[in-house]
């Protein structure tokens, strides 16, 4: 597991074999965080978040076939498959984003 990345933990819950777990929004939930005290700490935090987000997307793309092993209904499986396709295209564009910027402007 990747350092308790919340996106991967949620993916593992939703894609658990023969289970129908669904994530829901809880309005009354509360969370606390440690706010970065200076700019360098903020940059380090953002770098960790970006790395975690990227590797969570890679993990979801590698394990996409687990959609069909879960216990969800056929309709929900197709919606999850569409979400995977969107995620894969988004990951592909994010990977080449910097290169496309230089091709377009330099």
pLDDT of residue 38: 94
Note the pTM of the prediction, 2 decimals.
0.72
Check 6, 34, 38, 41 and give the catalytic one: 6
pLDDT tens, the chain, 106 aa long: 455 578 888 888 888 898 889 889 999 999 888 889 999 999 998 888 888 888 888 888 899 999 998 899 999 999 999 999 999 999 888 888 888 888 888 7
Euclidean distance between CA atoms 83 and 22, whole angstroms: 15
6 is catalytic: yes
* 3-state secondary structure at position 17: strand
Q: Which two tokens stand for residue 58?
A: 């890679």
First to last CA, the chain: 40
pLDDT of residue 2: 53
pLDDT of residue 13: 87
pLDDT of residue 3: 54
Euclidean distance between CA atoms 21 and 78, whole angstroms: 16
Which of 22, 30, 38, 32 has its CA nearest to residue 75? 22
Euclidean distance between CA atoms 12 and 26, whole angstroms: 19
| Contact by Cβ (8 Å): 73, 21 | no
């Amino acid at each position: 597991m990747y350092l308790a990345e919340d996106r991967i933990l949620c993916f593992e819950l939703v894609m658990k074999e023969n289970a129908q777990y669904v994530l829901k929004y809880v309005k009354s939930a509360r969370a606390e965080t440690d706010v970065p005290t200076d700019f360098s700490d903020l940059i380090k935090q953002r770098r960790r978040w970006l790395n975690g987000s990227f590797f969570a997307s890679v993990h979801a793309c590698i394990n996409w076939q687990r959609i069909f092993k879960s216990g969800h209904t056929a309709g929900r499986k197709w919606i999850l498959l569409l979400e995977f396709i969107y995620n894969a295209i988004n990951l592909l564009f994010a990977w080449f984003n910097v290169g496309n910027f230089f091709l377009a402007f330099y």
